[in-house]
């Protein structure tokens, strides 16, 4: 009695390009005081290796995660589950997860979740999240999209998932890759009501992005 029950957000990282989106989401959840249960698909090890140079290992997840996030702050609030572990806590609806964020989501993960395949722990937990009517955000990253993926995305929407493409907006005046990444991460957190200060919100003023420096980093010349 007295100890608050841990209620984590499950973050599922699948093997799409865009691992910086996942790192930003995880950092921001921890900064907001949220607990995180982390699942990294087998394919995501390849994208993490490709995009960060880090070999993500189950046995050394804490060290590897700290290297990936660039900090070990808040890592005591992270629990890690190997992608092949179907006995993991979040694979049951009785586990007290708040919901799940799949960031980034591959077209394969989109298909598996839409069809209820549960081919690995990430897909299983996504199915559980839907059946428990908890928030599920699917941050899909692929371009262009083929017809079957479009159908799967519509199916996910019909099942109550929030389909949130990794598609940065330029109205917040982001001038660095980090700012554009944080914009997408911020929209993911917005979708589940977690407070953050990852990007500047639209306040109804046209031209604010350009005055901040422009999205290509160019500072407008005097009088421009």
**Of the ranges 19-27, 103-111, 172-180, 202-210, which one interacts with ligand FMN (CB under 6 A)?**
103-111
CA distance 143 to 126: 23
For ligand FMN, the closer CB: 35 or 183? 183
For ligand FMN, the closer CB: 107 or 129? 107
Residues 44-83 interacting with ligand FMN (rule: CB under 6 A): 44, 46-47, 50
For ligand FMN, the closer CB: 119 or 212? 119
Least distance to ligand FMN, CB of residue 87, Å: 19
Residues 27-46 interacting with ligand FMN (rule: CB under 6 A): 41, 43-44, 46
Per-residue binding string, ligand FMN, 8-27, x by CB under 6 A, is ------xxxx----------
Q: Bridge partners of 163?
A: 138
Cβ 42 vs Cβ 15: under 8 Å: yes
Q: Is 203 exposed, middle or buried (0-12, 13-18, 19+ CB in 10 A)?
A: exposed
Largest CA-CA distance found in the chain, in angstroms, rounded: 65
Distances (CA, A) of 69 to 7, 28, 140: 22, 11, 21
């Amino acid at each position: 009695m007295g100890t608050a029950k841990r209620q984590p957000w499950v973050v599922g990282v699948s093997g799409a390009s865009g691992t910086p989106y996942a790192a930003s989401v995880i950092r921001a959840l921890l900064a907001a005081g949220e607990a995180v249960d982390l699942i990294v698909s087998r394919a995501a090890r390849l994208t993490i290796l490709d995009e960060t140079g880090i070999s993500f290992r189950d046995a050394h997840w804490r060290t590897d995660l700290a290297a990936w996030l660039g900090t070990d702050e808040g890592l005591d609030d992270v629990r890690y589950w190997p992608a092949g572990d179907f006995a993991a806590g979040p694979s049951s609806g009785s586990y007290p997860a708040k919901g799940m964020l799949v960031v980034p989501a591959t077209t394969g993960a989109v298909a598996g979740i839409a069809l209820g395949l549960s081919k690995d722990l990430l897909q299983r937990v996504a199915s559980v999240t839907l059946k428990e009517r908890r928030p599920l955000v699917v941050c899909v990253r692929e371009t262009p999209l083929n017809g079957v993926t479009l159908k799967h995305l519509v199916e996910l929407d019909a099942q109550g998932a929030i389909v949130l493409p990794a598609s940065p907006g330029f109205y917040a005046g982001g001038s660095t890759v980090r700012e554009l990444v944080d914009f997408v991460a911020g929209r993911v957190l917005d979708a589940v009501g977690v407070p953050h200060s990852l990007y500047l919100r639209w306040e109804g003023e046209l031209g604010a992005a350009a005055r901040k420096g422009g999205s290509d980093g160019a500072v407008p010349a005097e009088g421009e």
